[in-house]
Structure 1
Amino acid sequence: MNYAKNILETIGNTPLVQLNKIVKDLPCKVFAKVEYFNPGHSCKDRMALQMVEDAETDGRLQPGGTIIEGTSGNTGMGLALAAIVKGYKLICVITDKQSKEKMDILRAVGAKVVVCPTDVEPTDPRSYYSVSKRLAEETPNSWYVNQYDNPSNAKANYEQTGPEIWNQTNGEITHFIVGVGTGGTISGVGKYLKEQKPDVKIWGVDTYGSVFKKYHETGIFDENEVYSYVTEGIGEDILPKNVDFSVIDHFTKVTDKDAAVFCRKLALEEGIFVGMSSGSAIKGLLQMKDQLKPTDVVVVLFHDSGSRYIGKIFNDDWMRERGYLEEEIVTAHDLIKNHIDKPLVIVRTEELASHAIDRMRKYKISQIPVIDTNGFVGSLEDVDLFNAFVNNSNVADTPIKDIMRKPYPIVSLQTTVEDVAKLITKDNNAVLVDLGNGKHHIITKYDIINNIK
């Protein structure tokens, strides 16, 4: 019989798949190393098992011990598979920007999940780096994996992924491109490929908010480049020891929006259902098309499965909230169509300022139209209430009619976005849209800003 003795024996030997539609404008052949065929559905299975087995060999990981690691989710899944088969406990420390699917999957395979804030310095005691180290110090018979600086990470890719790609391309590969996070994949694969063919090009994909690209080009670790970003699994605010900059020929940066959009394109155009970092990788390749020629053979590594991003990248509402959906916004109707059913919040001239304050607080809004029996006769904004308070601390009991400003302009559903924008000035922060049948909706400057592409 032909079978694996346990799930760990199925790691590796993932397929190489030719890309067609999404790379139609490139002059050369492009192949994807599709890593979601690993049992844990990501490239991290390889290095997770390697790190565990190397720690077992040298005694860092003892029988019945607890594995502790800070992870964006995929390494945690690989460690979970190893922990299940080999009889270890697992604590995964994860940031709150990671998808809910990743957290739920880790819990499903027996890991204890500790969630930390994303937007803190690496040295902050709340960061997932710091929490991981602290838990390792406090937990008896534990081993802190530290995938960022653990040489077994790059070793796994040097011994497995690199040779697989070399053999699958029959040594014809000219370019390897991959998103860079811990650095193990690009460094291990890059080292192996350059040993076989010194002129092979190794391209890294970085994200905005990460330090890799500038550091590679200048040797400067620029803290001004560090800020929070949405893309998971690539980019860092530290310099992991596993990133071997000497084997990387070039970096390109990809925006969060492009990563999300091209992740979806891969699913729709190639039938390859992958995560956001794979969207970054393919967009990064397309950004460097001018450096390619017809005889080139390119391999781009796709890190993980799209199943871990159903609530994010593959959720229209999540994409729309961030302005990532490629929807054409032409008219006033386009600006409000996703919330057109929400009732218009208003106040009446004879109500008190306290009533307006309550509604602003309840609905989290800053502008309210004012009506009387004749229709719209004024408007009220948070700055009006603030200025009134400065002049009179008892403003809460002041009638709306005494502090309101002129009414908002009214436009039709077919009014162009450009014409709507012209009506919004420093003295007028909103426009009303006539929906017909006596109903109206409001457009604020934030609706227009949120739809800037």
Structure 2
Amino acid sequence: MSQEKVDVLKALGAEIVRTPTEAAWDAPESHIGVAKRLNAEIADSVILDQYSNPYNPVTHYDHTAEEIYRSCNGQVDMLVAGAGTGGTITGIARKLKALCPNIIIVGVDPHGSILAEPESLNASTEGYKVEGIGYDFIPEALDRTLIDRWVKSEDKESFIMARRMIREEGILCGGSSGTAVAAAVKAAKELGPGKRCVVLLPDSVRNYMTKFLNDGWMHDNGFTDQNMASEQESKHLQWGGATVGSLHLKAAVTVTNTSRCREAILLMERNGFDQLPVVSSKNGRLVGLVTLGNLLSRIAAGRVQVDGQVQDVMFKFQKSGTHFTEITDETLLEDLTSFFEKNSAGVVTERGGSKVKAVITKVDLVSFLVKKATV
């Protein structure tokens, strides 16, 4: 599950227990197996059990289906929805089949899941990235006799469609919504003029901000399409393969981690800088960055003295973690555009960070593009 879902639950005060995705649904270590064990161990605990709770489909029978029927003035010729626990599509299908006898109910199931019928559709055993739909068992809440046909879905088309809906329609939907729409585009082709197809979009983009919305994540998972490839090519042409070395940046002015804050402030004022790379007084290697704003605010608040050491107020770099991005003369400028979405400046070093060479900012990249455009 996405980190966003975990963070929301933690904010609500929940304790998160991770279970392996590859565990079979009836295995002791699966999310269902662990929940049952905790239920037995924790006094006064309850499992809402969306998989078998009869009120899962009932609430969609009583409410969601009625809303769809009223909104469509009683004309619904096809309904397309993904199947997870099955409660949504079961409840809606049961009510709409009674109200619109000729309606076609289309269930959507990812490759790697076993919910679709006939069983021959479920030949694939691959995993899938789309969350909230598909399972390796048939939930009690799912009544497959109500579903007229199934469409098997693929991750790539799901995420590309979700991104397309966000960009073209302004609908901030999640991945399984893209799955449903991609399937509806296929299924609705059999409907004639004047027919109405309703597609259920069950998730928002809030839970997936660091997943399919991120170009890097899409590329790393092989989900790029022609449009994204064209954008990357356009970006490459814009920068022309230029590197940091192409900018001929001025040599960096540095301070050591044991330098006095007073010295750092004077250096920045004298050179018109608002930040300085900090190097180790022992071996000269890059260890962090000190900014004028942080220095002045700490001193004004009495949290550090003017004669205190820079290492007490600097932003420390962790080369083994995610907080340090190595930038060298060989780094492509196009690769720095995403870096500057989160950072105002970067430190250019020799490979391995053994020596600080320069400081690069967003202004340097903008200046390069301006000069390139006027040539």
> What per-residue deviation string (whole Å, max 9, x for no partner) do you get for residues 10-62 of structure 1?
xxxxxxxxxxxxxxxxxxxxxxxxxxxxxxxxxxxxxxxxxxxxxxxxxxxxx
Q: Give RMSD over aligned pairs.
A: 2.5
Equivalents in 2 of 1:288, 1:340: separation in Å? 47
The alpha carbon displacement at 1:111 in A equals: 2.0
The alpha carbon displacement at 1:328 in A equals: 3.3
1:30-429 pair list within 5 angstroms: 98-213=1-116, 216-218=117-119, 225-326=124-225, 327-328=228-229
**Structure with more of its chain in strand, by fraction:** 1
> What per-residue deviation string (whole Å, max 9, x for no partner) do you get for residues 359-397 of structure 1?
xxxxxxxxxxxxxxxxxxxxxxxxxxxxxxxxxxxxxxx
- Write the letter of the residue equivalent to 1:144: I
- Write the letter of the residue equivalent to 2:46: W
Equivalents in 1 of 2:66, 2:73: separation in Å? 10
Residue matched to 2:327: none
Equivalents in 1 of 2:188, 2:174: separation in Å? 22
> What per-residue deviation string (whole Å, max 9, x for no partner) do you get for residues 141-195 of structure 1?
1111211111110011001100110111110111111111000000000000011
The alpha carbon displacement at 1:221 in A equals: 9.9
Give 3-state SS (helix, strand or coil) of 1:288's partner. helix
Give 3-state SS (helix, strand or coil) of 2:27's partner. coil
The alpha carbon displacement at 1:217 in A equals: 1.9
Equivalents in 1 of 2:217, 2:210: separation in Å? 7
Q: TM-score, normalised by structure 2?
A: 0.59
Change (3 A) 1:279 1:310: same
> What per-residue deviation string (whole Å, max 9, x for no partner) do you get for residues 272-311 of structure 1?
0010000000000112243121121111110011011110
Q: Is the 8 A contact 2:121 2:152 kept in 1?
A: no
Give 3-state SS (helix, strand or coil) of 1:114's partner. coil
Equivalents in 2 of 1:300, 1:144: separation in Å? 30
Q: Which ranges in structure 2 are unaligned for 5 or more consecutive residues?
A: 245-375
Change (3 A) 1:221 1:267: closer
Give 3-state SS (helix, strand or coil) of 2:118's partner. helix
Q: Which ranges in structure 1 are unaligned for 5 or more consecutive residues?
A: 1-97, 343-453
> What per-residue deviation string (whole Å, max 9, x for no partner) do you get for residues 221-279 of structure 1?
96x54442111001110000111111111110110111110110110011000100000
Give 3-state SS (helix, strand or coil) of 2:60's partner. helix
Equivalents in 2 of 1:275, 1:110: separation in Å? 24
- Write the letter of the residue equivalent to 1:234: I
Identity of aligned pairs, percent?
35
Equivalents in 2 of 1:190, 1:266: separation in Å? 25
Q: Is the 8 A contact 1:226 1:237 kept in 2?
A: no
- Write the letter of the residue equivalent to 2:105: I
The alpha carbon displacement at 1:340 in A equals: 10
Give 3-state SS (helix, strand or coil) of 1:155's partner. helix
The alpha carbon displacement at 1:112 in A equals: 1.9
Q: TM-score, normalised by structure 1?
A: 0.50
Equivalents in 1 of 2:142, 2:242: separation in Å? 49
Give 3-state SS (helix, strand or coil) of 1:295's partner. coil
Equivalents in 2 of 1:289, 1:221: separation in Å? 20
Bigger mean CA offset, 112-121 vs 250-259? 112-121
> What per-residue deviation string (whole Å, max 9, x for no partner) do you get for residues 180-222 of structure 1?
1000000000000011111111111110101122xx224x796
Give 3-state SS (helix, strand or coil) of 2:229's partner. coil
Equivalents in 2 of 1:196, 1:175: separation in Å? 13
- Write the letter of the residue equivalent to 1:188: G
Q: Is the 8 A contact 1:118 1:228 kept in 2?
A: no
> What per-residue deviation string (whole Å, max 9, x for no partner) do you get for residues 88-118 of structure 1?
xxxxxxxxxx110111011112222211111
Equivalents in 1 of 2:162, 2:125: separation in Å? 24
Name which structure has the greater RCO, CA cutoff 8 Å, separation 6+.
Answer: 1
- Write the letter of the residue equivalent to 1:283: A
- Write the letter of the residue equivalent to 2:130: T
Equivalents in 2 of 1:131, 1:211: separation in Å? 22
Equivalents in 2 of 1:238, 1:105: separation in Å? 27
- Write the letter of the residue equivalent to 1:152: Y
Equivalents in 2 of 1:341, 1:188: separation in Å? 58
Equivalents in 2 of 1:120, 1:143: separation in Å? 23
The alpha carbon displacement at 1:341 in A equals: 7.4
The alpha carbon displacement at 1:123 in A equals: 2.6
